[in-house]
Amino acid sequence: KRMQLIGSALRSFLQFARWCGCLTTDLATQVPSVASWPLSALPKSLPAKQVERVLARCPRTTAVGRRDHAILLLLARLGLRACEVVGLTLEDIEWETSRITIRGKMNRSDQLPLPADVGTAIAAYLQRGRPKSRSSRRLFLLARAPWTGFKDSSSVDRIVKQALGRAGIESPRNGAHQFRHTLACELLRRGRRLTEIGEILRHRRPDTTAIYAKVDLLALRPLALAWPGGAR
């Protein structure tokens, strides 16, 4: 992706240079395109043990700690996107039926079961952490006045980055999405089908879930051809 951006910027620069008269030859057409294939990358996930360590190292003796712990559990147990965490409201939690409403991409609304540990963490934050606010119905609020919800997804990414640092985990990516990838990979390891994983992650297309087939090494091993003249 980075090389594609560089190529696009270079073509734009060369077109501008020709428009200004600095160039007489159309060099922009000579900048080759960078090849791109769908589903070519591997999901950036964490080992399940590291996720549990992140959760265990999150302090729960302070209001901020209880808030962050509830957020991390939502990411780890339900695979929520950062933007979905930001958009949660008090009305999205149905305590009597143990369900939570998630508003995702394209204004899509889904209901998921609320795991017991996630519900307990949210309840702890609401009882002994969430500031009293008359102006905001967001589930998670800033720790300082004015008591409003997070501005955007970057606030959740910062919480994840700090949590990884406390757990002593060095990750190439510090964003919240790696928890989503970890959940999918762990479900696959436990024998869940890709269709089930797609339903849990609320994918609209099966192609989106297909990327996780690459990490199912046990299923892929029988498909691998023998190396010529060597062990398989």
Distance (Å, rounded) from C-alpha 42 to C-alpha 214?
7
- Is residue 214 part of the annotated active site? The answer reads no
What number of other Cβ atoms are within 10 A of residue 139's Cβ?
Answer: 24
Q: What are the φ and ψ backbone dihedral angles of 136, each rounded to 5 degrees?
A: -125, 135
Is 105 a known active-site residue? yes
Distance CA 176, CA 44 (A): 11
Whether 151 is catalytic is no
Among candidate residues 53, 77, 81, 130, the one labeled active-site is 81
Q: Which of 67, 77, 202, 203 is catalytic?
A: 203
Residue of 53, 177, 181, 202 with catalytic role: 177
- Would residue 192 show up in a list of annotated catalytic residues for this protein? no
Closest CA to 31 of 56, 13, 11: 11
Active-site positions read: 81, 105, 177, 180, 203, 212
